[in-house]
Chains A and B, each alone.
Chain A
Amino acid sequence: MGSAAAAAKLLSLSRAQCSHALGIAASLAGAPMANAATQAKPLHVGNAARLGLEAALLAARGMEANPLILDDIPGCAGFSAFYGVYRPQPLAAPGQQHQFLLEKQDIAFKRFPAHLGMHWVVDAALSVRNLLVNHTGSFCPALIRTIVLKIPLSKYINRPFPSSEHQARHSFQFNACAALLDGDVGLASFSEGSIQRQELRELLAKVVVEHPEDNAANFDKMYGEVALLLHSGDVLTGKCDTFYGHWRKPLSKESLLKKFRSNASHVLAEENVEAIIAMVDNLEDLPDGSQLACSL
């Protein structure tokens, strides 16, 4: 829906055409959760982009759809088809105290390529790892009897023994153990070799999960707690309410640029990488937007 709206904007569609773009897009929207943690999940975003664009292109050529697609019409579902409880509200008109949501609610940026929920657990794991290192002088997995993860209840990210990179990116258990073993989680953590490591599998076998009632499956409210129950009887705990990169603790400009440079330099020459940084930083002054695409 967002892609259709954005493309409609870029194509300067009329009001009626914008409405039809949304209507056509609704008929292209929606995919079930089951393909999360599989190779097909990335297609969800690719298709959202492509199909929203298609909807706008069709609307530009006069295709018409239901003008009440976002309204709640009992007996014949529009966008409401995708939700159990659906309560649409009108937006303030532009120029009449309209405020973009992005003013009030920032976004979260990931530090490593995995489901957002993993970031809480990783930060908690790193914190308790530090405690262990200070406590015993080094990180020694053999000292650990049990690892207790206190996480929200969410089936598709609760995977005790992931077998693919896609599954690993959606596994509280895997991310906690990788953080404990390696002292950080990054791109390389999800390689085949890393996932199949003997020491990692051994650590995974020590994990139990708990779902405290106060840990809501909600990116605004959730927390991650990692407790190490040592053979010695000691218990060390790390907890994270807000990971670094969350909207409550946003990435600094330096951290964001570091992430971008690290990612982009895998495929682009340094001058392109820097050109993109400069163009995005001055985007509102860029006379020809297609220059951005050229550097990509």
Chain B
Amino acid sequence: MWAKTVTGNFASVIHGLNANHLTDQVIQRSKRMILDTLGVGLLGTSTEVCHKVTQYSKIYSSDLSSTIWGHLDFRLPPLYAAFVNGVAVHSMDFDDTWHPATHPSGAVLPAVIALSEAFPRNKKISGLDLLLAFNVGIEVQGRLLRFSSEARNIPKRFHPPTVVGTMGSAAACAKLLALDQLGCKNALAIAASYAGAPLANAATQTKPLHIGNAAKHGLEAACLASWGLQGNKQILDMESGIGAFYTDYNPQTLPTLQSYPWLLDQQDVAIKCFPAHLGTHWVADAASSVRRKLVESSGNLLPLENIEKVILKVPKVEYVNRPSPASEHEARHSFQFVACSALLDGSMSVQSFTSEKIHRPALQELLRKTQLEHPPDNTPSFESLYCEVSVTLRDGNTIGDRCDTFYGHWRKPLKKEDLEKKFQSNALSVLPAEATEGIIQTVYNLEKVDDCSMLSTFLSGQLARTLSEKLHFF
């Protein structure tokens, strides 16, 4: 039945999509995203920001409870499990990035996993249910982002996960709750009233809450819709609806359900190799390459004292332009910091952002010599930006290199081994090896798992006995 409004159309697509619509590529790509998201989330549970939101969330109690990734010692009500796990995913800016720009998985996965644990005992949620709901949540985000040309570039006003992520989470949870079309519509409408956080909190400790809140509020909206709460049935159609977050807004109806063309099929995500703003990944690649050249031409030593100037040609993105970051959050959002770290260390990693690393004298000195330039052809879009790093030495020589596509970008995706390596490295910081292995196997076989609660069990760190009982998809 053709809906007359875009909102109604979205509701009928959310309602009508089923597992048969999923394509192999979509399944493969989303499993990679799921694995990466779980890994960064597990690592993120050890961060200070996650610790704070955990302490806060414990003040609420409930009969229902869901898993907090990396923890066997306590559980939280599903809404706050979604919140805490979502914060963990984005805590280090290590999670996936899409084009048009947003962090799609962190807003959806924690919500659907938490929700999957909230059903009555006799109702099982299969891996396929989870995979489908996850993809509905991703798809809705991508579609909404295409309604505004403003969304194609790196944002300036609202942080995209807080706008589309909340909507995606609501859609995904509506799917998992099997709401009817009206329920899906209302879930979207209610979610819009939670959407939108300003960009100014990027590069602060509050930024990770953007993803946590997107997950939590989307789930809340779907739950309220399932209780019959109603919102504006044209929330996606009106300028005063989701259009309020954009200066230009042109909603379109979605394709028909017949062989539905998922955006994830056409456009993959970027997976980060180190925990910092995506824009810095081009910088790291170029800087590492320049360091190699410098070292080769200087007898295998980095000629630090001989460096006169470091110039970075990057797009104009105010919130990643930080000449002298003072905190880990600022360092993750600094072209300058990543360039200098990569020049000093040869590569970037999780450890690059510790307080010692941020404040070391060699780095501070190099930062003072670093400048940014914004060539007009360097557009602030993750699809087209580039970075050129050039180092000028005392003797006048200049060594430079350019990066158009870093390893992990959708044009040059991470190989399976490297994705797993990242996951293991992250997850092993909080979980035992059997659990991390269990997660990998479960995610890779997600469509065959009939009870996805085993994923939650592994995420909490439970093992051995559970492993043999529950691994019955082999």
A residues with a Cβ closer than 8 A to B are 20, 23-24, 26-35, 37-40, 43-44, 47, 54, 57-58, 61-66, 68-69, 73-82, 155-156
Chain B residues within 8 Å of chain A by Cβ, number? 48
B204-A77 in contact (CB<8A)? no
B56 contacts which chain A residues (CB < 8 A)?
A: 54, 57-58, 61, 63
Choose among A29, A43, A64, A78 the residue that contacts B190 (Cβ–Cβ < 8 A): A43
Interface: B253 (CB within 8 A) = no
A81 contacts which chain B residues (CB < 8 A)?
A: 157-158, 196, 198-200
* Assembled-state Cα–Cα distance A79/B157 (Å): 9
Interface: B194 (CB within 8 A) = yes
Pairs A-B, 6 closest by C-beta atoms: A75-B318, A78-B200, A34-B241, A40-B231, A27-B197, A81-B198
B231-A39 in contact (CB<8A)? yes
Q: How far apart are B211's CB and chain A's nearest CB, in angstroms?
A: 11
A77-B231 in contact (CB<8A)? no
* Assembled-state Cα–Cα distance A260/B156 (Å): 46
Interface: B252 (CB within 8 A) = no
A61-B55 in contact (CB<8A)? yes
B190-A76 in contact (CB<8A)? no
Interface: B462 (CB within 8 A) = no
Choose among A26, A54, A64 the residue that contacts B205 (Cβ–Cβ < 8 A): A64
A28 contacts which chain B residues (CB < 8 A)?
A: 197, 213
* Assembled-state Cα–Cα distance A40/B239 (Å): 17
Interface: B307 (CB within 8 A) = no
Closest B residue to A30 by beta carbon equals B196
A26-B197 in contact (CB<8A)? yes
B231-A76 in contact (CB<8A)? no
Q: How far apart are A70's CB and chain B's nearest CB, in angstroms?
A: 9
A34-B240 in contact (CB<8A)? yes
Q: Which of A35, A38, A76, A77 has the most CB of B within 10 A?
A: A76
B37 contacts which chain A residues (CB < 8 A)?
A: none
B200-A35 in contact (CB<8A)? no
B318-A74 in contact (CB<8A)? yes
* Assembled-state Cα–Cα distance A30/B53 (Å): 22
Interface: B235 (CB within 8 A) = yes
Mark contacts of B53-70 with chain A using CB atoms, 8 A cut-off: 1 yes-contact digit, 0 otherwise: 101100100000000000
Interface: B89 (CB within 8 A) = no
Apart from A27-B159, A78-B201, 17 more pairs, CB < 8 Å:
A23-B206, A26-B198, A29-B197, A32-B195, A32-B235, A34-B234, A34-B241, A40-B231, A54-B56, A58-B52, A61-B55, A63-B53, A64-B204, A78-B199, A80-B198, A81-B157, A81-B158
Q: Secondary structure at chain A's binding surface: helix, strand, loop or mixed?
A: loop
Interface: B350 (CB within 8 A) = no
Closest A residue to B230 by beta carbon equals A39
B156 contacts which chain A residues (CB < 8 A)?
A: 75-77
A23-B231 in contact (CB<8A)? no
Given contacts A61-B52, A76-B319, contact A24 B206 (CB under 8 A): yes
B234 contacts which chain A residues (CB < 8 A)?
A: 34
Interface: B151 (CB within 8 A) = no
Interface: B202 (CB within 8 A) = yes
* Assembled-state Cα–Cα distance A65/B199 (Å): 11
Interface: B49 (CB within 8 A) = yes
B197 contacts which chain A residues (CB < 8 A)?
A: 26-30
Interface: B138 (CB within 8 A) = no
Q: How far apart are A26's CB and chain B's nearest CB, in angstroms?
A: 6
Closest A residue to B210 by beta carbon equals A27
A35-B198 in contact (CB<8A)? no
Q: How far apart are A247's CB and chain B's nearest CB, in angstroms?
A: 27
B230-A40 in contact (CB<8A)? yes
Q: Which of A34, A38, A73, A78 has the most CB of B within 10 A?
A: A34
B240-A156 in contact (CB<8A)? yes
Interface: B424 (CB within 8 A) = no
* Assembled-state Cα–Cα distance A23/B200 (Å): 9
A38-B200 in contact (CB<8A)? no
CB within 8 Å of A: which B159-213 residues: 159, 162, 189-190, 192-206, 209-210, 213
Q: How far apart are A14's CB and chain B's nearest CB, in angstroms?
A: 16
* Assembled-state Cα–Cα distance A8/B203 (Å): 23
A43 contacts which chain B residues (CB < 8 A)?
A: 190, 193, 224, 229
B162 contacts which chain A residues (CB < 8 A)?
A: 27
Interface: B372 (CB within 8 A) = no
* Assembled-state Cα–Cα distance A270/B199 (Å): 50
A77-B157 in contact (CB<8A)? yes
Q: How far apart are B279's CB and chain A's nearest CB, in angstroms?
A: 13
A63 contacts which chain B residues (CB < 8 A)?
A: 49, 52-53, 56, 205-206, 209
6 A-B contacts, Cβ less than 8 Å apart? Answer: A27-B210, A33-B240, A39-B231, A57-B56, A62-B52, A78-B201
B319-A27 in contact (CB<8A)? no
Q: How far apart are A3's CB and chain B's nearest CB, in angstroms?
A: 15
Interface: B238 (CB within 8 A) = yes
* Assembled-state Cα–Cα distance A81/B244 (Å): 11
* Assembled-state Cα–Cα distance A114/B98 (Å): 44
A35 contacts which chain B residues (CB < 8 A)?
A: 189-190, 192-193, 231-232, 235, 241
Interface: B242 (CB within 8 A) = yes
* Assembled-state Cα–Cα distance A73/B204 (Å): 15
